[in-house]
Amino acid sequence: MTITEATTIADIVNALPSSVRVFQRQGIDFCCGGKKPIGTVCQERGLNFTDVASAIEASSETIEETRDWWREPLRAIIEHIVTTYHNPLREELPRLQVMASKAARVHGGNAPHLARLETTLTKLSTDLVAHMWKEEMVLFPAIASVETDGRQSFPIAIPIACMEREHDHAGELLADLRCLTDGYEVPEWGCATVRALYHGLAELESSMHLHVHLENNVLFPRALKVSQGVSA
């Protein structure tokens, strides 16, 4: 594809999945912020557009392309989201919370930010568990039904808008965690628990960005098109 300053982040990721690594290295939000033009994002972050575009083009030559989610059935996308992101999250979040609690208890006296980290992670975990339940019990079945027979038991645009708002809030909490940990940079005094916690949080952020991108910028727009009688 030809990348111009007006090309949106989401369009780039959809066409070149390998660009995700470039955006992650530069700290560019490609999920909730995917609708922004890359030129605007580069300007906001003080990045050189030409350098970023060149890095994206180079990445496409060295990294294998992943599945084209714009061609997969909506049911396949939903199944992938649940198995690749939802189910692992249900296992990983409690593990991270245990480590955050231990780190705050042991090192909180010298590192008060760990208490705030524990509180923020607990909030994120609570929100995500409820969020995933709503998607799996309400929104995803409705999307699958629309794809199968075009039937809408309710307008899916309403829960989609709600899920996108919740994604934005989760993104804010993830940004708070990154700030509290200084970009997941393990301090010199960091014990094995702190190291494992910071590493786990960094992986959580990376996975969540891919997760939200697939929903916000692929599944939801395609589902809305189908619900309006437009080919997805």
Instruction: Classify 76 as helix, strand or coil.
Output: helix
**pLDDT (0 to 100) of residue 168:** 95
- Tens-place pLDDT, residues 132-149: 999 999 999 999 998 887
78, 145, 153, 154, 155 from 142: Cα distances, Å: 11, 5, 7, 8, 9
10, 35, 70, 127, 229 from 216: Cα distances, Å: 9, 10, 13, 17, 20
- Tens-place pLDDT, residues 31-74: 777 889 999 999 998 999 999 999 888 876 554 446 788 889 99
Computed over every residue of the chain, the mean pLDDT equals 89
Q: Are 221 and 146 found together in one domain?
A: yes
The distance from CA 29 to its chain's CA centroid, rounded to whole angstroms, is 9
Lowest mean pLDDT among 62-66, 92-96, 117-121, 181-185: 62-66
Segments forming the whole domain that contains residue 84 = 74-227
d(CA 119, CA 36): 31
**pLDDT (0 to 100) of residue 69:** 86
Q: Are 57 and 82 found together in one domain?
A: no
Beta bridge partners of 8: 37
Is the pLDDT assigned to residue 173 strictly greater than 80? yes
The distance from CA 201 to its chain's CA centroid, rounded to whole angstroms, is 13
**pLDDT (0 to 100) of residue 231:** 58
Q: Are 122 and 202 found together in one domain?
A: yes
Q: Are 142 and 39 found together in one domain?
A: no
